A and B are shown apart, each in its own frame.
Chain A
Amino acid sequence: EIVLTQSPGTLSLSPGERATLSCRASQSVSSSYLAWYQQKPGQAPRLLIYGASSRATGIPDRFSGSGSGTDFTLTISRLEPEDFAVYYCQQYGSSPPPYTFGQGTKLEIK
């Protein structure tokens, strides 16, 4: 099973700043099959990025994903007030599943 470790656990930043979130896999993720989700309190997760770097429909271009192999990054170029939430990475490259999630990074307002 591929274990995903996200860092930092909590990131405190101000609106307008740049956020960099990390997701490290215990083994190489096949074909960069990695997704990122945003979750706000009381809501279901929302897909942001798939295939490590492709933005989902309707996602603003301030969100970008990069990486391959075992190291992946989600970058939010200029934080908006609505971006403060918890972010999860998920790998879907293992065959057969399980398709594991990272433990999450909480992005909070400084």
Chain B
Amino acid sequence: EVQLVESGGGLVQPGGSLRLSCAASGFTFSSYWMSWVRQAPGKGLEWVANIKQDGSEKYYVDSVKGRFTISRDNAKNSLYLQMNSLRAEDTAVYYCARDPLPKRRSPSYFDYWGQGTLVTVSS
């Protein structure tokens, strides 16, 4: 059974940093593109970043470029999101999500999602 379990969320002050983790199981993690998607309270979904199977390609939404870094450790079946210079508008539930097919050249949609971890940026 595919499982994605996020952790690392919490309350942080503006300008602070946080590192989110996503533990994957039930599939060959190293074969899939992986993404982070967020949802501000009461709002819609926003794709944040994704990373290729071997980490060689990474893409970000403009609003987080230069502040967030996506990474992965295939030996640990884990995905990460390092978030620096956090702003109030980064407050959201952050979901880890999997691409549907292994070994794809390009990322696509998401077939499995974690339950999310809440990040609150406030003083």
A residues contacting B by CB (< 8 A) are: 33, 35, 37, 39, 43-47, 50, 56, 88, 90, 92, 95-104
Contact = CB atoms under 8 A, between A and B. Distances in A.
Nearest to A95: B106
Interface residues on B, range: 20 to 34
A34 B45 CA distance: 15
B113 A44 contact: yes
Given A44-B114, A88-B45, A104-B44, A98 B61 contact: yes
Nearest first, the 9 closest Cβ-Cβ pairs linking A and B are A35-B109, A44-B113, A97-B59, A101-B45, A92-B108, A104-B44, A99-B47, A103-B44, A98-B61
19 contacts: A44-B95, A44-B115, A45-B113, A47-B109, A47-B110, A47-B111, A50-B109, A88-B44, A90-B45, A95-B106, A96-B59, A97-B59, A98-B47, A98-B62, A99-B47, A99-B50, A100-B47, A101-B45, A102-B44
A99 to B, nearest CB: 5
B113 A101 contact: no
A92 B44 contact: no
Contacts of B55: none
Contacts, number: 58
A96 B47 CA distance: 13
Given A35-B110, A101-B47, 6 more contacts: A45-B95, A45-B110, A45-B113, A90-B47, A101-B44, A102-B44
